[in-house]
Amino acid sequence: MQDKGLEWQVGVWDQMSELYEREVDQRFVPVAQAMLDRAALKPGERVLDLGTGTGSLALRAATAVGPGGGVRGVDISSDMLRIAGRRATELGLDHVEFREGRAEALPAEDSTFDVVLASLSLMYVIDRAAAAQEIARVLRRPGGRFVAAVWAAPEECDIVMFQKTAGSFAPPPPAPGVGPGALADPATFLSELARAGIEARVERQQLEFDFADFESAWNVLAGVTTAQLPPEIQDEAKKAVRDLMWDGVDGPRHFRNMTQFIIGRT
Ligand SMILES: C[S@@+](CC[C@H](N)C(=O)[O-])C[C@H]1O[C@@H](n2cnc3c(N)ncnc32)[C@H](O)[C@@H]1O
């Protein structure tokens, strides 16, 4: 089940990668900035960015730690990583590297990182208890820092409301318990972190982005995951999201996304 789920996830993120760089990265800049504010990286530190995607946080972290430090971005999607690697080369950053791997089995030695970051990635991890153990294993002890961002519940997070509504028209994905709202209640994950030796708390902050109209939001937020649905079901799904979130009038839409930051220490 895990392998089938993982294979499906890799396919989705691979297909998303170019759209992600073009359309999502810019919208998530406030999240990356809020992560960096909380991580308070210092020159010379070693950072692992879990679920690095197209690398936008890893590249910012590399600038913060400087050439005396180092950043390793890890992701399950080789297409996302290819884009991240290209961006690092373009920026001339050679103290950031990107490795294929998963949260449940991080490609890293024990106690080798000062900080683990995970921005909007843990909601998609199939075995989060294993991920908590892995994060604790690779962090230095004591004093290793962990900062993650996860979305809140749909009622206070427009991106989750959008994707949940669109997703309700698709068959259940082969990986159960994952999705944008999967850590809306982070209590279980906080206990898993505590068992692994990381004491963590949650800070909340509303972050925002815009779409010019319904169709562009649909293409970015639901295009890939609904592409296989029959056209009439796609139309039904679109109507449901539009009725719920556009009040029947197409045009620009401001998304307000309550974001939860999980902040911990070994
Ligand atoms: C919403 S994107 C976030 C990317 C980036 N951190 C950002 O903030 O833009 C989620 C990322 O998590 C990755 N991911 C999903 N499950 C993962 C796992 N088990 N281990 C590592 N990465 C994973 C996906 O491939 C994807 O690149």
pLDDT band at 15 (very low <50, low <70, confident <90, very high): very high
Q: Provide the b/e sequence for 38-77 (b: ≥16 CB within 10 Å).
A: bbebeeebbbbbbbbbbbbbbbbbbebbeeebbbbbbbbb
Q: Which atom of ligand 1 is nearest to the CA of 20?
A: 9
For residue 194, the model assigns a pLDDT of: 98
Q: Could you tell me if 43 and 69 are in contact, meaning their C-beta atoms sit under 8 angstroms apart?
A: yes
- Mean pLDDT estimate for the chain: 96
The per-residue pLDDT for range 244-260, each reduced to its tens digit, is 999 877 899 999 999 99
Q: What is the mean pLDDT of residues 235-243?
A: 95
Q: What is the mean pLDDT of residues 185-201?
A: 98
For residue 59, the model assigns a pLDDT of: 98
Task: Give Cβ neighbours of residue 235 (< 8 Å, ≥ 6 apart).
Answer: none
pLDDT band at 20 (very low <50, low <70, confident <90, very high): very high
Residue in 75, 83, 162, 209 to alter for ligand 1 test, most ligand atoms within 8 A of Cβ? 75
Answer whether residue 2 shows pLDDT above 90. Answer: no
Q: Could you tell me if 250 and 242 are in contact, meaning their C-beta atoms sit under 8 angstroms apart?
A: yes
Q: CA-CA distance, 250 to 221, in Å (whole number)?
A: 16
The per-residue pLDDT for range 41-56, each reduced to its tens digit, is 999 999 999 999 999 9
Answer whether residue 1 shows pLDDT above 60. Answer: no
Q: The tokens of 122 are what?
A: 């843990």
With tokens 């815009």, the residue in question is 210
Q: Could you tell me if 153 and 160 are in contact, meaning their C-beta atoms sit under 8 angstroms apart?
A: yes
Q: The tokens of 170 are what?
A: 């698709």
Give ligand 1 pocket residues (Cβ under 6 A).
Answer: 9, 13, 28, 50-53, 56-57, 74-77, 80, 102-103, 119-121, 124-125
For 151, the enclosing helix (H) or strand (E) is strand 145-151
pTM: 0.97
With tokens 């294929």, the residue in question is 100
Q: CA-CA distance, 94 to 21, in Å (whole number)?
A: 20
Quickly list H helices, 127-263.
128-138, 158-167, 187-196, 214-221, 223-226, 231-245
Q: The tokens of 9 are what?
A: 């996830």
For residue 56, the model assigns a pLDDT of: 98
With tokens 């319904």, the residue in question is 214
Say what percent of the chain tops pLDDT 70.
99
The per-residue pLDDT for range 57-80, each reduced to its tens digit, is 999 999 999 999 999 999 999 999
Q: Which atom of ligand 1 is nearest to the CA of 53?
A: 27
Count of alpha carbons within 13 Å of 119, Cβ hemisphere only? 28
Between the CA of 122 and the centroid of ligand 1 the distance, in Å, is: 7
Domain positions in the chain: 2-154+177-210+257-265
For residue 90, the model assigns a pLDDT of: 98
Q: CA-CA distance, 81 to 57, in Å (whole number)?
A: 13
The per-residue pLDDT for range 88-145, each reduced to its tens digit, is 999 999 999 999 999 999 999 999 999 999 999 999 999 999 999 999 999 999 999 9
Task: Give Cβ neighbours of residue 67 (< 8 Å, ≥ 6 apart).
Answer: 94, 95
For residue 257, the model assigns a pLDDT of: 98
- Report the CATH number of the 2-154+177-210+257-265 domain: 3.40.50.150
Q: CA-CA distance, 144 to 154, in Å (whole number)?
A: 32
